[in-house]
Structure formats: structure tokens, C-alpha cells
Copies of this chain bind each other. A is one copy, B any other.
Amino acid sequence: MDGMLLAELQSVVPGRVSTATETLDRYSRDQGPLLSPALPVAVVRARTVEDVQELLRWATRHGVPIVSRGAGSGVSGGAHATDGCVVLSLEDMNRIVAITPDDETAVVEPGVINGELNDAVAEHGLMYAPDPASYRWSTIGGNVATNAGGLRCAKYGVTRESVLALDVVLADGTLVSVGHRPFKGVAGYDLAALMTGSEGTLGVIVGITVRLRYLPHAVHTLAAFFEDFPKAAEGVLAIGRARVQPAILELLDGRTLEALDGAHGSELRRRGGALLLVQTDGYGAAAEADVIRAALTELGAVVNQEDSAEAEQLVDLRRHSRGDSVDDLYRVGEDVAVPKSRLVPYVAALEAMAQKHRVQLKVVAHAGDGNLHPTFWVDRSEGAQGLERLEEALDESVRSALEFGGTITGEHGVGQYKQRWLAWEQSTEVLDLQSGIKRLFDPLGILNPGKAIG
């Protein structure tokens, strides 16, 4: 960067700017596959709303792209640096501003870690429901920017359902408040929902009012082992037909069980070819678990009522069954979602694709939402040929999900990596509307360019 520009940046956010090579490198990417590596020209670690406003005023004056990020836990490259950008890290804006137990709300800065908010509100009998697998290190700001999902959203909804109000710094440095502090509010267009999931392309989220939920009175966890993966997927439908809503409903295939056994010394794969992990919660948890156990047993599953230690361990293992290593070009985790009734045929189609393209496959799914995380991989030693087959399998898995009435991304976001699939899902007219919204909020195109939309 031009020395004058940099000097000006250092003067508008003094003490917050770093240009050390190792810092630039560390902030150059998130956990997503890296298509076109780039280093930021500087990293700004903001501590206040004013820092963010000053930075954006400077960026607007000079047309410098800003890539904002929390912990960098995203897996779609939404926080990858782009050429000539400044990375804005919100991780130091990590205060829990207020917890109001009677309102069942909290106000947080964007850098607050998801798990830390949950720890803080638990003493009030409350929880922040959205729980992406990264909850121990991802930030609420990043969760909102990607509209993150997680395990509990089968029952409690995704991040959007827990966001009441947002403070946002717009591209030109203007601070606005959108949404509403009460649980309900319909004044004007729903700009808080529009911001949620916009991946830093419409503004920088600097304050978040979230709705909290009640910590459940009781929790029951069932582990149902099935002969094979399609049969376990049928179990998901059986639970639905019993009209019981689990808090968590996770589907793990045999390869995932093997991987977990290898990493954690468990012996899950010996117990079956696929696992359906079910958690009910609340005052009806025990009765609901009974109904589910009966439905799954009838399907041929071996269902144990786990004691709470093993149950907790299984849920914990599941939380780590993806993200145990960083995605790269040779190993890519997908995030499609299909209507629930399509789970069984889609799972069968995935297995056929892996065979056809000679790639490795393991699958976990937030099955209650129809949201699947197939991971495809090839051995690095296969080089370009392996990569080509991997790409073909990925493309086919996405196209197939769309044919089943699904979406290219259930919860991870488009980021940089899924750009190539977006036009498969959305029409030119819809893509144009999104571009129009982008131009309205960010006429210079400085906010996380090349991400989220087409």
C-alpha cells in the first residue's frame, strides 16, 4: 500500500494497525478451501465502534476493500483476504454488554465467543441456542454474518431466529440500528434479517441483541445404531412421522464413525453401520425419548438410552466430527440441504457418486433440518487427476441436491468457495436483485467484495 495511505490509516485508528508479515499471513484466510491466495495490506484489530467507523470512512475515501472477520472459523472462504484489502478483525470487541434475564435477551459485541455467551447466561437458566460446531471459538458476530446453524436449530431455529437487533456500521462509516429489542416487531422492512447471513458485504456488525432461550429442564440422549446409512436416514422420517420434535437429530455414516474411533479411541463403528444421535429436551424429554426409541426399534435400530456421561460424550464427538482438519483443495466438506423426505434417496445418490468418481466420502447430517455435510476427499498423491475427480463429485453432489429441491448451502454460507454454484440455484433476476441491494448499501463495492452473492 501507498505509504501515505498507510500513514493515514495509522492516524485514524492509532495502535490498531499491523503490517507484520506473520500477522498478514495469519489473517489472510479462514477455514475454507483457498482458491486464490492473497495477503491483506494491513490488519486492523478494532476495539470500539468508533474504530470501525473511522476505518470505513478511510476505506470509503480511498476505495480500499475491507474484509471483516471474527475468529476466522468459517469454512466457505467468506473471510479470505482479497487483493489489496484491509482485514478488519472484530475479535477484540468482545464485551458482553448486558444480560437482562427478565427480558431473556443479551447485548454483545461481535467478538464475543459463542460458548462464552452461553457460559455467562447459564447461571440465569438461559442459553443462546445457535450452536455451530465451532461454538467454542467462533464469534457471535461471525455467526450472525453467516446466519450460522448448528445442532440445536432443529428445534430452536438458526441464528436469524435469535437475532433481535443489530448495530451496523455502513460502508461510509454511518452507524445504524436495525431490528427491535422486544421479541416481535414489524416496523419497516426486516433489515436485521437482511444483514443476518450477508457475510460482511452490506455492513460491519458491531452490536448484537440476541434472544435467549430457557435452559432445558431435562435432556435425554439416544444413540440408535443402524445396519447402514440409508436405513438410518429412514429413522429420521420415522421420528418425524411420530410427530416428536427432537432438540438434536444428527446422522453419522459408517466412515464418520470410523474416523471418530480413530481420532478419539471410541468403538462406535463396531456397534453399527450408521448412527442416529437424538436428543430430546424440556419437560417432555423422557416421554419424547420413549416414543422415539419405540419408533427406531421398530425400524430395526439398536437403541440405547445412554447414561448421561456417554450421551454427552457422543454429542461432543459429533460436534467434532467435522472441522477436525482444515478443508483444503483435496478435502472439501459440503453443506447442502434437501427437503427431509429426500434424505434417503439423496444419501443413496451420494454413495453412488463417490463410487462413480472414485473419491472418498463420509457424511454427517443435521438430519432434522435435512442439512448434510458430505466430505469428499482424494489422496494428495493423486495430484491433478484426483482433484479433477473430486471437483466432479462435488459438482454432482450439489447439482443433485438442487434436483431434489434443495439448496447449495444450508448453514455455511456462499463465501468465496460456493460462488460457482450460486447461479445453479438462483435465477438471473434474483441474483440481480441481490446485486442491487449490494450496490445500495455499498456503492463503491468495498465491503468484502466477491463474497456471498454472485
Contact = CB atoms under 8 A, between A and B. Distances in A.
A425 to B, nearest CB: 5
A327 interface: no
A63 B124 CA distance: 56
Contact of A429 (B176, B243, B287): B176
A184 B433 contact: no
Given A369-B182, A406-B181, A452 B188 contact: yes
Contact of A146 (B146, B186, B191, B198): B186
B369 A184 contact: yes
A453 B189 contact: yes
Contacts of A189: 194, 197-198, 202, 434, 437, 452-453
A103 B339 contact: yes
A204 interface: no
A338 B125 CA distance: 22
Contacts of A198: 189
Residue with the greatest number of chain B CB neighbours at <10 A, chosen from A125, A196, A437 = A437
A79 interface: no
Contacts of A183: 337, 340, 368-371
Interface stretch (A13-21, A156-164, A301-309, A352-360): A156-164
A414 interface: yes
A409 B186 contact: yes
Contacts of A429: 170, 174, 176
A240 B104 contact: yes
Interface in A385-432: 405-414, 418, 422, 425-427, 429-431
A103 B340 contact: yes
Interface in A171-197: 174, 176-178, 180-191, 193-194, 196-197
Contacts of A177: 427, 430
A157 B434 CA distance: 26
Interface stretch (A38-46, A85-93, A222-230, A278-286): A278-286
B244 A214 contact: yes
A264 interface: no
- Nearest first, the 6 A-B pairs at minimum CB distance are A283-B284, A284-B284, A102-B341, A193-B193, A182-B337, A185-B407
23 contacts: A100-B339, A102-B240, A102-B241, A126-B243, A147-B186, A160-B193, A176-B430, A180-B337, A182-B337, A182-B339, A182-B340, A182-B406, A184-B371, A184-B410, A187-B408, A189-B202, A189-B437, A190-B196, A191-B430, A214-B243, A215-B243, A284-B285, A437-B437
Given A158-B184, A182-B339, A188-B414, 12 more contacts: A149-B184, A180-B337, A182-B337, A182-B369, A184-B371, A185-B409, A186-B197, A188-B430, A188-B454, A189-B434, A193-B194, A213-B245
